[in-house]
Every structure is written in structure tokens, then in C-alpha cells.
Structure 1
Amino acid sequence: MSLPEQNPSTHQKKVVVANKHGEKLMGILHESGTTDIVILCHGFRSSKETEAIANLAAALENAGISSFRFDFAGNGESEGSFQYGNYWGEVEDLHAVAQHFCGEKRAVKAIVGHSKGGGVVLLYASRYRDIKTVVNLSGRYDLKTGVEERLGKDFMERVKKDGFIDVHKSGSFLFRVTEQSLMDRLNTNMHEACLQIDKGCRVLTVHGSADDIVGVESAHEFAKIIPNHKLHIIEGADHPFTQHQDELASVVVNFIKESFDQDKAPTST
């Protein structure tokens, strides 16, 4: 996959933002010389360096749009301890980032999230009304699904007995799921949250038809309940859009540019 050509007028720099707990969130600002900015959010146990996020930042650069990709607390280079669940906690990390750029006199025009980050940007839109363009990539509609596949069929009995579940792969420790963090995920209701999204908020959902991590039915459920919603299914694409980065970038960048144009259009009296 070939990345978009680098725009010579852009540059990248590291930016550190403190969340409400005082933890440093590490990010990279792709500066295209505009006050408008797009914030990019990674998925579960991932980082700002994940392919889809890095490629989107490059594609936005090529379109002359500034963006910021960052690591949620406990992920990548950011401070804090990793937490399973913690969707609303990551919403607050995103809010801290948005507020930082507002303080820098930048206009956060869009938020984009992949996988768990897709859920986070939708939850953000349900709680805050300050960003009118939201892009959900491969987000999960029902957060009660996918838990058994990762933790095993008896996960509830085990976590009640021990207070936590340690997840391993090939004999190596990956992460710990506490009872509190598990219940945080199970009690996060995407359906109810999406009903709270303002009708003036433009939402795009992009999902791969061959996603075996989060089934494409999630995308169709979001399309049913979000009022101002556009759905784009990429045929044959997997969860991270491995072989479909160009189509993903094209769809997302075009949607964001259309949204920017709508914002700039004069309103009729």
C-alpha cells in the first residue's frame, strides 16, 4: 500500500496533553497550517502508530488538513496504567485533548476512532456537543459481545471468584481485567448513548464486510439509530482494513472535507 505523497508544507511535532488525572497523553500533531484540526483515536491495546491511524493522518496531510493522533492513558507512550473497559475514561482523555486545542485557538472539526476508538468518539458525541463531525471505524455496537472470545466462557465466575482475570497469549502475560473494569465495559450502553447524539452531528460509520473481530452487523445497528448517519461498507475488508487502506483513507477524507464545506457554506435567512 502506497502512502499519500507528503505535502512539503506540512510538518509533524510531538505534543503532550495532560488529562484530568494529570497523566501525560503523548501525541503527534500533523501541522498543515490550518486552524481546523481532526483528532484521531486508536483502538484496544493499540496506539497512535497503528497503520490505519497513521495512514489517515498522512492522507489528511495530503488534503491540507491538520490532525492530531495520540495515545490514550495506559497505552503507547502515554502515562497511566492500562485498563480494560474504561470507555468513558477514554472519552474524558479525548475531551482533554479537544480542550487543549481549543485553548490553542484551534477548531476541532472532526473526531475519528478505530475499533474501541470508534465507540469512544460516538460516546463523546453523546456527552459533548462541541464537535459536529464523527467518524466511527469498525466500532462495536453491543459491548457485551466479544468478551467471551477474549476471556473465555466462564469469565464472570472467574472474575467474581478472584477479582480479576489475567489474559495470556502463547504463554506471555498480556493484560489484567479487573472485576470493576469488566463491569465498566458490560455496563456501557452504546445504544442508549447513540440516541443522545445531536441531529446536527454528522456521523460516518465505515466497516469491513470481512471483519471477524467486530461483525459488520454492528455498523448496520449504528445506521438504524443515529439520526444524521452515513454508512460505508468496504467489501472484503478485515477489522484493521489491512488490504484496503487507500479506500478507507479516501472515504474518510472525503467525508471530512464535505463536512468542512458544509460548515463554511452560508446559511439562508
Structure 2
Amino acid sequence: MERRVAFTNPHSEKLAGVFVDAGSEDVVILCHGYAATKDGFHLPAIAEALAQHGRSSLRFDFAGNGESEGQFSFGGYWREVEDLRAAVDFVRRELHKHVAAVVGHSKGGNVVLLYGSRYDDVPLIINVAGRGVMAKGIKERFGADILDQLAAAGAVEQAVKADGGRLIKYMLTKEAVEERMKMDMFAEAAKIKAEVLTIHGTADRVIPIEDGRAWDAHIPRHRLLEVEGGDHNFRAAPEHRQQVVAAIVAEVTAAAERRGSGAGKGEGVPDRQA
């Protein structure tokens, strides 16, 4: 059921993925967050649960992360959108299947939303704890004087602990921080025509629940599921993870039924090439 795959992004970097084949024509693409990998967060558990319900999935490492080629960096949201585009194309052209949904956690949540704003060709987007107000979180992560440091030096060396405990050293650049701070996620989200489910923990201290609640005012076809007491990674209690996994499976299944598509038939609205 599970096999390793690889495909290339527009920058000729090879991206590593895992395809879980449950026999369905529909495929759900799973996207990790900042300094994470395809086997981080709860992505393997989500893939397993989807397979148990007859749904295939593809999870992959963004460029510079995990087993994929490229250089790790902070920011680069639109570049990761193009990595996701490469994954969508791989499913269509190499696997000859349909993309039923894209799911992303944290930074990956932003990426799947941005994908929906640029490409209207996936019917369901699931945003798990993605950030709404992009100017926030910089000083909290890097220190109160980080903007002054970047203004003076242009770049500052940083280290982040990635999935598995591996320490990644990289250069945080003024351009990367400015790109994020100037990004208007709500304006981009307003362009999305797909159905969107946001899942957000009420006790998230990394990205507050207020960000999750704010999407309602900007995304036309949006629904919010609040996980009571859930933290950013939904690890405070086992039931939080279970609730997230179950909600994703239920939403994918319900969306397919609304489109008139069964698990193994892939008969719904065809993918539209943008």
C-alpha cells in the first residue's frame, strides 16, 4: 500500500514523497509545516486513517526539508506553493489520479490556502492551524530585536530543531522576513472558490485561535472546527490528535459524497488545469 516516490519542482529540485495506495482514484495530498517533514506532525496517522476508509494519499517534503533537495529557508511561501503544484501534477500525470483535497498544518496550512488562491483546481482545502496575521510571530520566534538585527546586517544565522531532533542551521534574511510580514493572507484567502475547512486548537500558543476564527470573514465557503484545549500540534491529549484525524477523514469523505464520488470511483468534478 505504501511506496516511496519522487518528483521535481520548477527549480529542478527532487522532492521526496510517500504514496499510500488505497485503490481509490482520488488522492489527498498532505503538507507539513515549518521545519517539519512528511513523517512529522500526525501526517502518517492521517494517511493510515484515510487508507482505512479507502482513500489514497501523498505526503512529501518541501524543498530543503526532510529528504528533499534544496536549501532550507524561513519564508518562501509562494515557492512552497509551487512545490505543492509539482505534487498535484505528479498525481495527475504520473499516477493518473485525481486530487480530491490538499491538507496542510501550520505553515503548510498557509501553503494550501495560497495554492487555492492561485489555482482553482482542487475542490477541498483543509487548513490545520495556519496563520492569518503574518506580521505576528516573528519577534516571538527570533527575539524582540530581530528586526533591528536584520536592518543592520541583512541576515542573521539561526538554528531550528527539525523533526527527529536534527538541528538545522540557516541564514534568516531581511528579505524573507519582509516577504512574510507583507503577505496579506486574508486577501489571498478571499480568492478561494473551493470548500475550506479550518481546524484550530483553542489553546494554541503559537498561532492563536483568533486567527482560525478570522477566516470565516474572508473565505466564502468556509467552516471552522475548534478543538477544545488543543495546542498547535494537538499533542496535549490523545483525543486531540484523534479529533483532528477523524475530522479530516470525515471531511474528505463527505466532500466526495457531495460531489457524487465514491472512494474507488473518482467520478466527481474533474480536476481543472489552471
Task: Say yes or no: TM over 0.5.
Answer: yes
Task: Report the Cα distance in structure 2 between the residues aligned to 1:48 and 1:153, rounded to whole angstroms.
Answer: 31
Partner of 1:256: 252
Shift of the alpha carbon at 1:140?
0.4
Q: Deviations over 1:95-126 (max 9, x none)?
A: 01101111132100100000000000000000
Is this contact kept in 1: 2:32–2:41, CA < 8 A? no
Equivalent residue pairs, number:
254
Partner of 1:111: 102
Q: Provide closer, same or farther for how the CA distance between residues 173 and 107 of structure 1 changes in structure 2, counting only shifts above 3 A.
A: closer
Is 1:42 the counterpart of 2:42? The answer is no
Is this contact kept in 1: 2:157–2:172, CA < 8 A? yes
Task: Report the Cα distance in structure 2 between the residues aligned to 1:257 and 1:208, rounded to whole angstroms.
Answer: 22
Is 1:57 the counterpart of 2:47? The answer is yes
Shift of the alpha carbon at 1:173?
6.5
Shift of the alpha carbon at 1:37?
0.2
Task: Report the Cα distance in structure 2 between the residues aligned to 1:60 and 1:167, rounded to whole angstroms.
Answer: 37
Picking from 129, 133, 137, the partner of 2:128 is 137
* AA matched with 1:123: L
% identical equivalent positions: 37
Matches within 5 A, 1:1-269: 11-104=1-94, 105-168=96-159, 174-198=169-193, 201-242=194-235, 243=237, 244-264=240-260
Q: Which runs of 5+ in 1 are unaligned?
A: 1-10
SS in 1 for 2:39: coil
The TM-score, its normalising length taken from structure 1, stands at 0.91
Shift of the alpha carbon at 1:187?
2.1
Q: Provide closer, same or farther for how the CA distance between residues 53 and 173 of structure 1 changes in structure 2, counting only shifts above 3 A.
A: closer
Q: Deviations over 1:54-83 (max 9, x none)?
A: 111111111110000100000011000011
Shift of the alpha carbon at 1:53?
1.2
Task: Report the Cα distance in structure 1 between the residues aligned to 2:169 and 2:136, rounded to whole angstroms.
Answer: 20
* AA matched with 1:18: T
Partner of 1:5: none
Task: Report the Cα distance in structure 2 between the residues aligned to 1:233 and 1:127, rounded to whole angstroms.
Answer: 27
Is this contact kept in 2: 1:55–1:245, CA < 8 A? no
SS in 2 for 1:40: strand
SS in 2 for 1:51: coil
Q: Which runs of 5+ in 2 are unaligned?
A: 162-166, 262-266, 269-274
The TM-score, its normalising length taken from structure 2, stands at 0.89
Is this contact kept in 2: 1:73–1:82, CA < 8 A? yes
SS in 2 for 1:32: coil
Q: Provide closer, same or farther for how the CA distance between residues 65 and 173 of structure 1 changes in structure 2, counting only shifts above 3 A.
A: closer
RMSD across aligned C-alpha pairs, in angstroms? 1.7
